[in-house]
Amino acid sequence: MNDALPAISPALRAALDDWLRGMAALQDAADHTITAYRADVAGFLGFLARHHGGAAGMAQLRAVTQSDLRAWMAAARTRGVGPRSLARALSALKSFARWLAEREPGFDPDIFLAARAPRHARPLPRPLAETDARAMLQTVSGEHPEDWIRARDAAVLTLLYGCGLRISEALALTGRDRELGTSLRIRGKGGKERIVPVIPAAAAAVADYARRCPFPLAPAAPLFRGARGGPLNPRLVTKAMEAARLRLGLPATATPHALRHSFATHLLAAGGDLRAIQELLGHASLSTTQIYTGVDQARLMQAYRAAHPRATGNGAGTGS
């Protein structure tokens, strides 16, 4: 893997490898995250080498200026790198700089930490309407000729919508979860654990599936199974939902993850507390959860434009 980084000095390559190993071991970062971080930081170091000539080393890193960082971002944008990808790359670079500052005497990370990523509009989640979410669960439960597979698909989707789980979290459940109580301990992204309440409909759907499943559900084995008894592939859940959305005439945005969005959006619309919803979803930052307030506001404005006399042009309105 180091052979792919010819423009980086051996000492800096070793530092990059050590940082990534630490990310994997201490922060429980996923493999694809480590791969992305390596590419992001190596991409900057490669640019630095081309920008100044010669292999990039600690001396070049210590001498980085805001002008260098702006030139790197401009070059990335010229290659078609989007603002979200560039923001992620800058975040990785800042993390690496912080790590180096703790280990390299005299290395000052402030130039990196002060750099600002280009602004980008974060797309709003696309939740289903409450009636569409209920229709989706009912339709999926009748899509497959095998009754236990119909029950399985309905159980998985009910957990996504009723408990706000990610599909990976639902498929990580084991046989010991076949009889759900009133709450469920979930291990989410980064190994973070949270407790989510289980609504009766979710407990009933899982119990119905477990009763019909033709395979033994040992406590340590996966709860949700494929047709041959192996762990359920998330793609099969997506396909079941695709068939149901086509039958219902719903848009392509009606995906399994949209059910998790629907869980959060519908809770917020019903007066749910944003901090509580953050905990239920397992978001590390409240800012991630706050995006659902944008969905709620967008729906409010849509209803306003559809019904308000001045918005529709149907009347002149009245004074206050």
Question: Which positions are catalytic?
Answer: 166, 189, 257, 260, 283, 292
The CA-to-CA distance between both ends of the chain, in Å, stands at: 69
Beta strands in 164-272 (DSSP E): 183-187, 193-197
Amino acid at 104: E
> How big is the CA angle at 162 (ends 160 and 163), to the nearest 5 degrees?
70
> Do the Cβ atoms of 86 and 129 come closer than 8 Å?
no
> How big is the CA angle at 220 (ends 194 and 256), to the nearest 5 degrees?
55
Of 89, 172, 166, 161, which Cα lies nearest the Cα of 127? 161
Gyration radius of the chain over CA positions: 25
> Do the Cβ atoms of 158 and 289 come closer than 8 Å?
no
**Gap between the Cα atoms of 116 and 66, Å rounded:** 10
> Do the Cβ atoms of 196 and 165 come closer than 8 Å?
yes
Cα dihedral 79, 85, 86, 91, rounded to 10, equals -150
Mapping DSSP to helix (H, G, I), strand (E, B) and coil, where does residue 16 land? helix
**Gap between the Cα atoms of 169 and 296, Å rounded:** 26
Which residues have CB under 8 Å from 252's CB, separation 6+? 245
Q: What is the largest CA-CA distance in the chain?
A: 74
